[in-house]
Chains A and B, each alone.
Chain A
Amino acid sequence: MKTASAIALALGVLLAVAAPALAPAQTDCLACHGDMTLQDASGHSVGVDAHTFAASLHGSLPCTACHTTIKEYPHPEKVTPVECQSCHADQATGLAGSVHAKASAQPCLSCHGNAHAIFSKDDPRSAVYPLNIPRTCGSCHGDPALAKKYGLANVYSLYMDSIHGFALSREGLLVAANCQSCHGSHHILSHTNPQSPTSKSNVPKTCGGCHAGIAAGYAFGVHGKAVAAGNLKAPVCTDCHTAHAILQPTEAAFRMQSTPICGSCHQDKLSTYRDTFHSQLGGLGGYVQTARCWDCHGAHEILPASDPRSPVNHANLVKTCGRCHAGANLSFVQYQPHANARDRKLNPALYFIRLFMNLLLIGTLTFFVIHTILWLIRSRYSQIKTRSAEGGKNG
């Protein structure tokens, strides 16, 4: 009994002596800050949910590990902001060079959420868990006012309606591309910066990070080779698929929008395609089965027609056309899907047939329009004459 009280006394003395030198333990802080209704002088909540904090990534750290300027109790009314970079130096460096460097007073918390409820990015409770990222980024990038202010597209809604957005939000697919899959996380750069994974020359590599097979085919095709050679006029993934509103390519909407995209560069091919049945039938909503550019040319591994591996190489046409036109033979594939009836040198037969049909149309109509107009005038004239002779209303 005597021994026990002696130890207790010794401990008490030791604690009393040591206390001013040691930082306050979590429990000491939570004695006040555990009250969720606690507010500072300016009305900001300074309460901490002790349970959530204990479960969070930083739960094992003492409060002063982050709130480094607090040395004693009672602490001053004004405390300096927490500096995450004292531990997370790499991320802070990345952020400082990114488009978000000046985006917010507390840039870390903008994305990572409540400072006392930070979880691992693999934890569904985390604001940066893959399935939560679009909503986190969307809290700013889904705001039309902000989009307008910075001249950005309202990318959140575009993304959420895209094939990636569907996979993520509807299927909960963790591997579906979310914002940071393409843009990165801390060191996010403008697509105009050549270092950015979303800069035009880097797009094939960025998308290829998941779509490796497509990327290999693309690199093999004319567009991929041109981009690799530094010709940035050639299309990369996003030029055809768009960056955020990416659709399932078999979807009607994509089949409808894609031809003009190819045509924005291949204007002469688009105008001749427009003259054909494929386009006339396919140009209207609802009927999307008719051949679009890539149905014949391929989508990613596009090769010149002179290449024997190209689906539009003469040796492969029976097979390529036959995919839609059952029974296509060698004569059938002589059909020219880009014939130009206005070009006498290129398609003389077609040119003269069109000329004949036009002359027939213009000739017939011109003759009969004159004939009919003369007839109308003469009929009306004799009608009035007859009526006036009879003392009618025109008399």
Chain B
Amino acid sequence: MDDLEAAAAESWEHEEKEGRHFLRFTRGQRLLHATLFTTFLGLAATGLPMRFSESVWARGLARAVGGFGAILFFHKLCAVVLTLAFLIHVRDIVTRAFIHREKGIFWGANSMVASWKDVKDLFGHIRWFLGLGPRPQFDRYSYWEKFDYWAVFWGMVVIGFSGYAMWFAPFFAHFLPGWALNAVLVIHSEEGLLAILFIFSIHFVNTHLRPDTFPMDMVIFTGIESEEEFKTKRPKEYQRLAAEGKLEARLAEAPGIWQLNFSRVVGFTAVAIGLILLVLTLSAYFWH
């Protein structure tokens, strides 16, 4: 009993030592990301065998999930869920911007829209890479995070539209010329490939696997980060909130151990699946 109490007290002290924590992502934003990466993994896992249908693993994978009818079914299922998530997100933006007249959606520090600062940050960051200058002071969303967002946004529109054009080809043929039906497959598969290669290499490394965040940035799963992380990763936002006296409003409790562990399991599984798919894709490209 004494031991247990001592351990509890110690862990409390430990928690205390960790200091303050802040909320970065709301539950809705985390849910959106979770839906996005789950369906994206599903789409990639079912789309790649179609793109590389002549490779050995494609046939094996198709057989494993119950033949090609099943693969196409899951591809469409993931697509529909992702489309719904995308539409809900767009509706959310439109409501906040035009109905509630919320400021700072399309401009300012909290906006996903690129600003002049992002261009300066990009060049500043590269100068820092080369040891030619100081590290840029990032605000709430850095330029590569905004790029990720818009890449997904653009990808969603392009891949989504071309996908539905194939799914309902005779219907789309009422508006599109015949050659466009040829084009949509090229667009769908090339853009899908870009998305897969980008997410499973660039996004994984930039966000999770680089030395500063290795092995995984938990903030997208828990929504909460420590004060130290906040200060070093986004000093501009931290200073801005501190100056405006809004820092305390963002205070949050440290994520529970179960929450961290659950996030780790989910996160590492997603990264592992992604990396496997990346290897398969590259193997199909180079050893076809």
Q: Separation in Å of the A338 CB from the closest CB of chain B?
A: 10
Q: Which of B173, B185, B211 contacts A276 (CB 8 A)?
A: B185
Asked if B177 lies at the interface with its beta carbon under 8 angstroms from chain A, I say yes
In the complex, the answer to whether B126 meets A371 with C-beta atoms within 8 Å is yes
Q: Are B58 and A284 in touch, CB under 8 angstroms?
A: yes
Contact in complex: A284, B129 (CB < 8 Å): no
Residue contacts A-B, CB under 8 angstroms, 9 given? A282-B53, A282-B68, A283-B54, A333-B178, A336-B182, A350-B183, A361-B194, A364-B198, A379-B212
Residue pair B211, A353 in contact (C-beta under 8 Å): no
* Bound form: Cα–Cα A353–B179 in Å: 11
B171 on interface, CB distance cutoff 8 Å: yes
CB proximity to B under 8 Å, residues A253-288? 274-277, 279-287
Q: Mark B176-196, 1 if CB is under 8 A from A, else 0.
A: 111101110111001101100
**Minimal Cβ-Cβ distance residue in A for B203:** A368
Stretch from B11-19, B59-67, B82-90, B111-119 contacting the other chain: B59-67
Q: Is B202 an interface residue (CB 8 A)?
A: yes
Determine whether A45 belongs to the interface, using a CB cutoff of 8 Å to chain B. Answer: no
| Cβ–Cβ contact A329 & B126, under 8 A | no
Binary B-proximity of A320-352 (CB < 8 A = 1, otherwise 0): 000001111101111110010100000101100
Chain B neighbourhood of A341, CB < 8 A: 182, 186
**Given contacts A361-B194, A378-B128, A281 and B68 within 8 Å (CB-CB):** yes
Q: Any chain B CB within 8 A of the CB of A146?
A: no
Contact call B53/A326, Cβ cutoff below 8 A: no
Question: Which of B51, B202, B211 has most chain A Cβ within 10 Å?
Answer: B211
Residues of A within 8 A of B128 (CB): 378
In the assembly, what is the distance between CA of A380 and CA of B214, in Å?
11
What is the CB-to-nearest-CB distance from B85 to chain A, in angstroms, rounded to a whole number? 23
B62 touches A285 (CB 8 A): yes
Instruction: Give the chain B neighbours of A353 by CB distance below 8 A.
Output: 183, 186-187
Distance A284 CA – B166 CA, assembled complex (angstroms): 19
Q: Give bound CA distance, A285 to B69, whole Å.
A: 10
* Contact of B166 with A287 in the complex, beta carbons under 8 Å: no
Q: Say yes or no: B212 contacts A372, CB within 8 Å.
A: no
B49 CB–A CB distance under 8 Å = yes
- Size of B's binding interface in residues, CB under 8 A: 53
Residue of A276, A284, A286 contacting most chain B CB atoms (<10 Å): A284
A377 within 8 A of B: yes
Question: A280 with B50: in contact, given A285-B63, A353-B186 (CB under 8 Å)?
Answer: yes
Contacts of B66 in A (CB 8 A): 286
A38 at the interface (CB under 8 A from B): no
B178→A372 contact, CB < 8 A: no
B210: Cβ under 8 A from any A Cβ: yes
Q: A281-B53, A353-B183, A365-B197 are in contact. Are A327 and B68 (CB under 8 A)?
A: no
- Cβ contact within 8 Å between A328 and B59: no
Q: Which 3 A-B pairs have CB atoms at the shortest separation, nearest pair first? A: A334-B178, A286-B67, A287-B68
Chain B nearest Cβ from A157, distance in angstroms = 24
**In the assembled complex, which residues on chain B have CB atoms less than 8 Å from the CB atom of A379?**
210-212
A364 touches B194 (CB 8 A): yes
Take A332-B181, A350-B179 as given contacts and tell me if A375 and B198 are in contact as well, using a CB distance cutoff of 8 Å: no
Give the B-binding residues of A (Cβ under 8 A).
Answer: 274-277, 279-287, 325-329, 331-336, 339, 341, 347, 349-350, 353-354, 357-358, 360-361, 364-365, 368-369, 371-372, 374-380, 383
Q: Which of B68, B170, B178, B186 contacts A286 (CB 8 A)?
A: B68
The answer to whether B35 has its CB under 8 Å from any CB of chain A is: no
| Cβ contact within 8 Å between B206 and A327 | no
CA distance A360 to B186 in the complex (A): 13
| Pairwise interchain contact B212-A334, C-beta atoms closer than 8 A | no
Selected contact of A328 from candidates B173, B179, B194, CB within 8 Å? B173
The residue on A at minimum CB distance from B197 is A365
Chain A residues, CB < 8 A from B257: none
Contact at A372–B205, with CB atoms within 8 Å? yes
Q: Assess whether B201 is interfacial by the CB under 8 Å rule.
A: yes
User: Bound state CA distance, A326 and B130, in angstroms?
Assistant: 59
**Measured between alpha carbons, how far is A357 from B181 in the docked complex, in Å?**
16
**For B194, B198, B201, which residue has the most chain A Cβ atoms within 10 angstroms?**
B194
**Known contacts A277-B166, A372-B205, A377-B129: A284-B182 contact under CB 8 Å:** no
Write out the residue numbers on chain B whose beta carbons fall within 8 Å of the beta carbon of A286: 62-63, 66-70
Question: Does residue B71 face the partner (Cβ distance < 8 Å to A)?
Answer: yes
**Contact of A284 with B68 at beta-carbon distance under 8 Å, contacts A276-B185, A328-B170, A331-B173 already known:** yes
B 143-202 contacts with A by CB, 8 A? 144, 151, 166, 169-171, 173-174, 176-179, 181-183, 185-187, 190-191, 193-194, 197-198, 201-202
Evaluate contact between A380 and B173: CB separation under 8 angstroms.
no
* Contact B50–A281 (Cβ < 8 Å): yes
Report whether B68 and A334 are in contact in the complex, using a CB–CB cutoff of 8 Å. no
Contacting residues, chain B, for A285 (C-beta < 8 A)? 59, 62-63, 67-68
The residues of B that contact A364 with a CB separation of less than 8 Å are 151, 194, 198
CB-CB nearest in chain A for B69:
A287
Asked, given contacts A284-B62, A285-B59, A365-B202, whether A331 binds B183 with beta carbons under 8 Å apart, the answer is: no
The B67-118 residues at the A interface (CB cut-off 8 A) are: 67-72
Question: Quick one: which of B169, B173, B201, B210 has the most chain A CB within 10 A?
Answer: B173
Contact B176 A378 (CB under 8 A): no
Q: Say if the beta carbon of B131 comes within 8 Å of chain A.
A: yes
- B63 surroundings in chain A (CB, below 8 A): 284-286
**Quick check: B186 and A326 within 8 Å, CB to CB?**
no
On whether the beta carbons of B126 and A374 are closer than 8 Å, the reply is yes
A361 contact set on B, CB distance < 8 A: 190, 193-194, 197
Q: Using Cβ atoms and an 8 Å threshold, which residues of chain A touch B131?
A: 378
Q: How far is the CA of A339 from the CA of B185 in the complex (A)?
A: 11
